[in-house]
Amino acid sequence: MMSEAASDGRPLVFEDLVRWFEAGAKPKAEWRVGAEHEKFPFRLHSHAPIPYEGDDGVKALLQGLMRFGWTGVYEESDAGPVLIALERAKASVSLEPGGQFELSGAPLETMHDICEETGRHLEEVKAVADELNLGMLGLGFTPLWRRDEVPAMPKGRYGIMRRYMPKVGGMGLDMMFRTCTVQANLDFASEADMVAKFRTSLALQPIATALFANSPFKEGKPSGFLSARANVWTDVDPDRTGMLDFVFADGFGFEAYARYALDVPMYFAKRDSRYVDLSGRSFRRFLEGGLEEAPGDRATIKDWADHTTTIFPEVRLKQYLEMRGADSGPWSLLCALPALWTGVLYDGAALAAAWDLCKAWTTEDHDAVRADVARRGLKAEVGGRTVQAVAKDLLAIARQGLKARNRLSGGLTDEAGYLADLDAIAESGVTRAERLLELYHGPWNGDVGRVFEEFAY
């Protein structure tokens, strides 16, 4: 792996950036899955968001978790070191801009391992949260809070993003402060394998968005969307979001993605534990040492790795592929998301069958269904079919892929059981968001606050 400069100490060139992606390739025997999920911490008595400081703040939550063997990660600030994350082995707990609490799980072999990790994390968080009179809510978009009610977290890169977001989109700050997601990270064996997995998962990401739709409210009322989170992503920053048409073009590979990433405007560079605001600047010029804000400074491979984390398409390439299209939800769906994509992408026959579902879709289809599922969920249409019909086919493919893996738990059950809740959603055609709306218009009598009481972890 290259370190701060190129492997031989010379300044970086474009080919080094391409090789950084290539270095992620792994033989199938070494493929793992990393699961991530976010949730909203809130005060039990008032349903209010929590600040960073204070006896019941985010820092207190992080400190409380240290009893379970987590180690603090600190960032330098003018006021001294700031606790911004926790680490334990290869997993981490980190903060999103509005205090959303995120588990970034370790790379694990099976869905059984992932669900065990998820459960342990939620139990640890609940133990600390109960002591602080806090709860945790897994929805894709906060159902009550206005943007100005959500406290900002003291993390350097987020301050830069807060200032830049309103310049390039209408809902970037909503993305930062009011959304939560569940994601899965998966490996590839080669450039060709990466391309096949990227194209298939990107085209089908809106199907996952529909299956996981779980954010129908905004500021106490129905928003008009089943996934308010997915709708937010349609107006964040066109330079770094979306369905990436070029992924489906002939000749796509590591080089094409590197050229795209090279021209995505920067947010920052990190020097001496501090963030340097380079928002809107060109990484291409930084690579050449031509930025006025950083005279004499040239990009390092660490800068490149950091820069790739500031790009937000529906599927993101780093040294693995990130599935980014789903709302956060209950425990069972936190396990279902990695199971879905593992079943589809880690079995050759399943991957080919999944591509057959979507290979005829056009650029217009990709963009239209991405927008349509945010509003209509499984009732949206693509390629002449309902999203519900595609989702049922996709789940059948994923189930076969998981069965073919034959990764058994201690009870000798395979991984396909983690798809059960998704199967029920697809069969009914009714998303969790629509179930919440039924409650809102029925037993809840229009009181969105009930979601905090009935659906907190």
Using an 8 Å Cβ cutoff, are 418 and 336 in contact? yes
Residue 182 forms beta bridges with which residues?
37, 326
**333 backbone dihedrals φ, ψ, rounded to 5°:** -80, -20
Rounded CA gap, 153 and 38, in Å? Answer: 15
**40 backbone dihedrals φ, ψ, rounded to 5°:** -90, 120
Using an 8 Å Cβ cutoff, are 398 and 349 in contact? no
- Which pLDDT tens digit goes with each residue over 114-143? 999 999 999 999 999 999 999 999 999 999
Secondary structure letter of residue 152 according to DSSP: P
243 Cα distance to chain centroid: 15
Instruction: Record the pTM.
Output: 0.96
Secondary structure letter of residue 248 according to DSSP: G
- SS3 of residue 336 by DSSP: helix
Using an 8 Å Cβ cutoff, are 102 and 176 in contact? no
Relative to beta strand 241-242, strand 181-186 is unpaired
Rounded CA gap, 445 and 71, in Å? Answer: 45
413 Cα distance to chain centroid: 28
Would you call 400 exposed, middle or buried from its count of C-beta atoms within 10 A (0-12, 13-18, 19+)?
A: middle
Using an 8 Å Cβ cutoff, are 83 and 71 in contact? no
Secondary structure letter of residue 11 according to DSSP: P
Residue type, 18: V
- Which pLDDT tens digit goes with each residue over 22-67? 999 999 999 999 999 999 999 999 999 999 999 999 999 999 999 9
Does an H or E element contain 442, and which? Answer: none
Architecture of domain 31-264+311-454: 2-Layer Sandwich (3.30)
Q: In the prediction, which pLDDT does 3 show?
A: 37
Mean pLDDT of 313-321: 98
Task: Select from 338, 269, 372, 350 the least CA-distant residue to 106.
Answer: 338
- Which pLDDT tens digit goes with each residue over 60-99? 999 999 999 999 999 998 889 999 999 999 999 999 999 9
- SS3 of residue 374 by DSSP: helix
Q: What does the mean pLDDT of the chain come to?
A: 96
- Which pLDDT tens digit goes with each residue over 184-213? 999 999 999 999 999 999 999 999 999 999
- Which pLDDT tens digit goes with each residue over 399-414? 999 999 999 998 889 9
Q: Give residues with Cβ within 8 angstroms of 169, minimum separation 6.
A: 235, 236, 237, 238
Q: pLDDT > 90: what percent of the chain?
A: 95
Q: How is residue 95 written in tokens?
A: 């903060």
Rounded CA gap, 73 and 66, in Å? Answer: 11
Whether the per-residue pLDDT at 183 is higher than 60: the answer is yes
Using an 8 Å Cβ cutoff, are 389 and 380 in contact? no
Whether the per-residue pLDDT at 438 is higher than 80: the answer is yes
Max intra-chain CA distance, the chain: 67
Q: In the prediction, which pLDDT does 2 show?
A: 37
Task: Select from 370, 376, 363 the least CA-distant residue to 429.
Answer: 376
Residue 94 forms beta bridges with which residues?
85, 102
Whether the per-residue pLDDT at 7 is higher than 80: the answer is no
Using an 8 Å Cβ cutoff, are 16 and 301 in contact? yes
Q: How is residue 366 written in tokens?
A: 């990709």
Q: In the prediction, which pLDDT does 8 show?
A: 61
Q: In the prediction, which pLDDT does 6 show?
A: 60
